[in-house]
Amino acid sequence: MIAQLAMATGFALILIGFYGALTNRNILRMIVAFSVANTGVHLVLVAVGYMNGRTAPILDSAVSATEAVTRIIDPVPQALVLTAIVIGMGVTALMLAFAYKLYEKKRSLDIGKFTELRW
Amino acid sequence: MIKRAAALLLLTIIGGIFFTLLTGYSADENLNLTAQYYAENTAKDIGAANIVTAIIVTYRGLDTLGEVTVLFLAAAIVGLVLARSRGAGAAQTVKAPVGELLTTGSHSLLPLILLLGIYIFVNGHLTPGGGFQGGAVVASAMLLLLLANPVKRFNHRLISIIESFSGFSYVVIGVLGLLLAGGFLDNRILPIGEFGQLFSAGAIPLIYSLIGLKVGAEFSSILSNLSEAEEL
Amino acid sequence: MSALILAMVVLLAVVLIGAALVAIKGKSLPIAILSAGLVSLIASVLFLVLAAPDVAMTEAAIGSGLTTFLFFFVLSRVRGGEND
């Protein structure tokens, strides 16, 4: 139940982020919307790995190595999301640097003012 | 108006796909085969208590090498794009002083934050955390330094030396694993040691510390490049 | 116990969606950026409930900490462009 709820929230965040990226005219607002959608994707992936009544994939005195198979949740999506968060921050930094460059060129952040590649 | 309608239509289609995914989802009762292998063999093969760390550093070590390379490329391109926009130094506008509280506070907090970052990435194989989280905490110490003194210029040469040293050592350890143990980035070039101790899990603490230094240097370079860009 | 956790997840989900709506529709850009940081922060609490402490730490440190500051650095460099 918790997993389904978190997954629904993640899907809602992705949709909200896409809506913001498609309808906003300001480049910085589009980047903010993309980072919201990014968080939604992370939420969905982590929710896929969750299993009811199990605990985090860390072995200690509470979860011994022998009973790990029946006690821990799937660690693979977590490793995947860890990678995705770090790369997502790098991509956001790149988008921001390009937004700064575009502002330097046209002195405006309105996407409608950039008409060079329009068709 | 037509654009908004098109956007809403697209979102309805994507939302429909998501809805079928959500209603068709049922949680697994047991671990799948890959996860089961990791759960059974991590403790005796790798010796790390944190299975996520074992996957990131050893089982999927090559992917992590690719990941830090992608992050390095992102930091390098941010530096390249902003290179000509950097303030000439003398032309900087004089900003208002940041205040006594922030200056004094940053002096006393900086060593503690650095210590926390190093603690997080040295203990990556035992507790939640590791190179990426620790690197981000180290970079946030640099951020505090930037906030306390906005006209400060970081030593970019030092950052790039730390970055290339840790990246090079990471690859050297990987090749050593190929020569001395079972394969590229195998952690058994050092003794696995006693499960749950700080000096255990072979080369994992060493590799994760190098990743932490590299990630911290890359984040610091992105932050300082963006903060040194000239005000337009 | 389980009902308590379920109630907490429902609360977090409602706050998440509200903050996301503010992040894309908010009147001023600084508030939108702060709301995007809030989305990351609440999501990191949700990751902790979903038994993923590693991901929770990463999201809190990188997603809600450093990214928000990157946005503000760029925002302070493009004065005048925020209302286009």
Domains of chain A: 2-53+73-113 (1.10.287.3510)
Is there a domain that residue B171 lies in? yes
Q: Are the C-beta atoms of C23 and C32 separated by less than 8 Å? A: yes
Helices marked H in B92-130 — which ranges?
100-122
Q: Which two tokens stand for residue C78?
A: 């493009």
Using an 8 Å CB-CB cutoff, list chain B residues near A118.
none
> Given this model, what pLDDT does residue C38 score?
92
What span, in angstroms and rounded, lies between the C-alpha atoms of C16 and C3? 20
Q: Please tell me what DSSP assigns to residue A62.
A: S
Instruction: Answer whether residue B35 is part of any domain.
Output: no
Tens digits of residue pLDDT in A9-30:
999 999 999 998 888 888 888 9
Burial class (CB in 10 A: 0-12, 13-18, 19+), B127: middle
Residue A115 has pLDDT above 60, yes or no: yes
| B127 within some domain | yes
CA distance B17 to B39: 33
* A42 has a chain C CB within 8 A of its CB: yes
* pLDDT of residue B91 exceeding 60: no
In a domain, B116, yes or no: yes
The pLDDT of residue B203 is above 70:
yes
Whether residue C55 contacts residue C47, with contact meaning beta carbons closer than 8 Å, is answered with yes
Summary mean pLDDT of chain B: 82
The pLDDT score that the predictor gives to residue A36 is 92
Higher-pLDDT residue of C63 and A67 is C63
Question: Is the pLDDT reported for residue B59 higher than 60?
Answer: yes
Q: Is the predicted pLDDT of residue A116 greater than 50, yes or no?
A: yes
Residue predicted with more confidence, C40 or B91 = C40
Cβ-based contacts of A22 with chain B (< 8 Å) = 7, 10-11
* Residue B21, in any domain of the structure: no
- Maximum average pLDDT range among A22-26, A71-75, B114-118: B114-118
Q: Which two tokens stand for residue A83?
A: 């990678």
Instruction: Answer left, alpha or beta for residue C13, where phi above 0 means left and psi between -120 and 50 means alpha.
Output: alpha
Q: Residue B95: its pLDDT value, please?
A: 63
Q: Does residue B90 surpass a pLDDT of 50?
A: no
For chain C, the straight-line distance linking the first and the last C-alpha, in angstroms and rounded, comes to: 49
Confirm whether B29 is domain-assigned: no
| Closest-CA distance of chain B to residue A73, Å | 7
B3 located within any domain: no
Q: For residues C52 and B42, give the distance between their C-alpha atoms in angstroms, rounded to a whole number.
A: 18
Measured between CA atoms, how close is A88 to chain C, in angstroms? 8
* Residue B124 contacts residue C58 (beta carbons within 8 Å): no
3-state secondary structure of B107: helix
Count of structural domains, chain B: 1
The residue-averaged pLDDT of C10-36 equals 90
Q: Does any domain span residue B93? A: no
Please give the pLDDT value at position B96: 66
Supply the range of the domain harboring residue B58.
49-83+99-228
DSSP sequence for B17-86 = HHHHHHHT----SS--HHHHHHHHHIIIII--SBHHHHIIIIITHHHHHHHHHHHHHHHHHHHHHTGGGB
Residue whose structure tokens are 């759960």: B39
Say if residue C41's pLDDT is above 90: yes
Q: What's the confidence (pLDDT) of residue C82?
A: 65
Residue C72: how many CA atoms within 13 Å on its side-chain side? Answer: 15
Mean pLDDT of chain A: 86
- Rounded to whole angstroms, the Cα distance separating B150 from B153 reads 8
Out of B18, B39, B63, the one facing A69 most closely (by C-beta) is: B39
Residue A58 three-state SS: strand
